[in-house]
Structure 1
Amino acid sequence: INKSKEIWTETRKHFVKPLSSQLNHHLNEHYKSYLKHFNDDPNNQEIAKKQYRIDDNRNVSFDEDTAELSDHQDHRIYVHRQALDGLWIGFAWSTSNQALHVRINRIQIDNEHEFTLLPVVLHPIVSKASGTDIPGKPFIELSLFKTAQTRANIQHIKYLKLLIQEFDFCADQTLIMSILNFVKQEKAPGAPTINMDSDLKRIYKPLEAITNAQSNSLPTEPKIFFDNLHLSPLKLHVSFSMHGFGTD
């Protein structure tokens, strides 16, 4: 699990929010100009005061990895250039409510065999549909908000969202054989057995007593209701090679 690439973010109430893709692009272009001038003359104080125009209403000035955005009404916000953590988890709970937010920005699984044709097994890729890498967009994101009624044994999920970005899966014959050797059973399982003691005891009970006991007993399995469920379509590119090197 790795950090994301460096992007421009804004902090609001302890939450780090990436800026839009278009604004990130403009800031990066002006940031390159700022670094060039700063490296040429580090002691020039005018470089820190210089403002770069983003559009007709906004300007930006830089101070190392911090940028100040201002508009024609003199509204100012400060943004920072940083890499988002590889794994971020936010949660909150009370006696009846629970909220969970998980982000995995980038993940890569490598093939650890000494000789392999496909050294990377799984990694996210840039979507061909958009053609650009959206800044701050995590590879996997999960959001959940639910309420629970303990006495009624009911869970009410008001919001559940799971998003998985497009990714590649690559495997060769060596990796497949190693996985099969790892999961295969060493010994044949024994014959299955069935415990019929409870069924034999019911034979000696009257039918009315059995039906009354079942109708009066409360259900043990919880009931789950969804208000908003959003699961993203899974876009997977698979590459497989029949070539590989044998393993002992």
Structure 2
Amino acid sequence: MPSLSESMKQHIQIGIRDIGIAIIDDIARNDLFYISISKSKDIWMESSKSHMKPLSYQLNKHVDEQYESYIKDHNAHSNDEEFSSKKYRIDNNRDVSFDEDTAELTDHQDHLVRIKRQPLDGLWVGFAWSTSNAALHVRINRVQIDNEHEFTLFPVVLNPIVSKAAGTDIPGKPFIEFSLFKTTTARSNTTHIKYLKLLVQEFVFCADQTLIMSILTFIKSEKVAAAPTINMDTDLKRIYKPLQAITEAQSNSLPAEPKIYFDDMHLSPLK
């Protein structure tokens, strides 16, 4: 049996800030739609080894408020060293000091946490694996699809909804997030998925008839009429073989049926 605690020392991370994809029908010379995947707004993130972890919603809000005070003090006293090393109080236990877009959080026990203000990548993919375990994590921060037709009722086909009631306005919360952890058994077709989670935030989708017909025309394949042909060579060869030999050959060639077991599956908004 594979061990869930087996260390996955091999890993790869891919981050892309912004992506733009234009779908164009060259034959009809018609721009269909434009897909953009963009980075998030600037948020405060904690540096931990090779990872950048966003701060919690409340802490990010408090640090941002003090950052605005720091910018005002820095502009008013740019040559004063006292203001450059000034500490700002977040709550009763923590202070923060800024150095442009970086900062240090300290508490009453002198614990130090370094944070940085930067956006999250538009598309981020992390993959780690070992002999029997594999983990995949994908985040897409913001997606928007624009209708490229000159005259349209809905210029924006798809865009996320920012809802304070549902909590989708939290900094660093991606539009789409997918995570998977699985284990495989050696010499077996059995896959054990420890968890599979797909979270999709609220979005609006609007498409008019012009766009729908353009897409159908774009993906429609041309049918080429051809005379039907049937290859009878295999069937003719089986005529001269006994039935038992044919059935045994087919049963022995069938592969073992793969089995997949799930421990935890969460498909937003289903669970």
When normalised by structure 2's length, the TM-score is 0.76
- The DSSP-based 3-state class of the residue aligned with 2:213 is helix
- The DSSP-based 3-state class of the residue aligned with 2:187 is coil
What residue in structure 1 maps to residue 155 of structure 2? 119
Mapping 1:28-107, distance limit 5 Å: 28-107=64-143
CA deviation profile, 1:165-187 (whole Å, cap 9, x unmatched) = 11111212221121122123433
- The DSSP-based 3-state class of the residue aligned with 1:180 is helix
Q: 159, 174, 177: which is aligned to 1:141?
A: 177
CA deviation profile, 1:101-148 (whole Å, cap 9, x unmatched) = 111111211111122232211121113533561111111111122223
Mapping 1:230-245, distance limit 5 Å: 230-233=266-269
Q: CA RMSD in A?
A: 2.4
- Whether 1:162 and 2:198 are equivalent positions in the alignment is yes
Cα pair distance change 1:106/1:59, threshold 3 Å: same
Moved over 6 A (4+): 191-194
Q: Percent identity?
A: 73
Q: Distance in 2 between matches of 1:70 and 1:194?
A: 78
Q: Distance in 2 between matches of 1:214 and 1:176?
A: 46
What residue in structure 2 maps to residue 229 of structure 1? 265
- The DSSP-based 3-state class of the residue aligned with 1:108 is strand
Q: Distance in 2 between matches of 1:21 and 1:194?
A: 65
When normalised by structure 1's length, the TM-score is 0.83
- The DSSP-based 3-state class of the residue aligned with 2:58 is helix
Mapping 1:188-203, distance limit 5 Å: 198=234, 202=238
Q: 2, 7, 10: which is aligned to 2:46?
A: 10
Cα pair distance change 1:124/1:189, threshold 3 Å: farther
Offset, 1:52: 1.8
- The DSSP-based 3-state class of the residue aligned with 2:211 is helix
What residue in structure 2 maps to residue 241 of structure 1? none
Offset, 1:96: 2.5
Q: Distance in 1 between matches of 2:230 and 2:165?
A: 54
Cα pair distance change 1:112/1:159, threshold 3 Å: same
- The DSSP-based 3-state class of the residue aligned with 2:110 is coil
Cα pair distance change 1:107/1:193, threshold 3 Å: farther
Q: Distance in 2 between matches of 1:8 and 1:130?
A: 22
> Conserved in 1, the CA contact under 8 Å of 2:39 and 2:141?
yes
Paired amino acid for 2:219: V
Between the two proteins, the alignment pairs up a number of residues equal to 234
Paired amino acid for 1:228: D
Cα pair distance change 1:95/1:110, threshold 3 Å: same
Cα pair distance change 1:21/1:189, threshold 3 Å: farther
Offset, 1:196: 6.2
Paired amino acid for 2:184: A
Q: Distance in 1 between matches of 2:135 and 2:52?
A: 18
Deviating more after overlay: 140-149 vs 73-82: 140-149
- The DSSP-based 3-state class of the residue aligned with 2:59 is helix
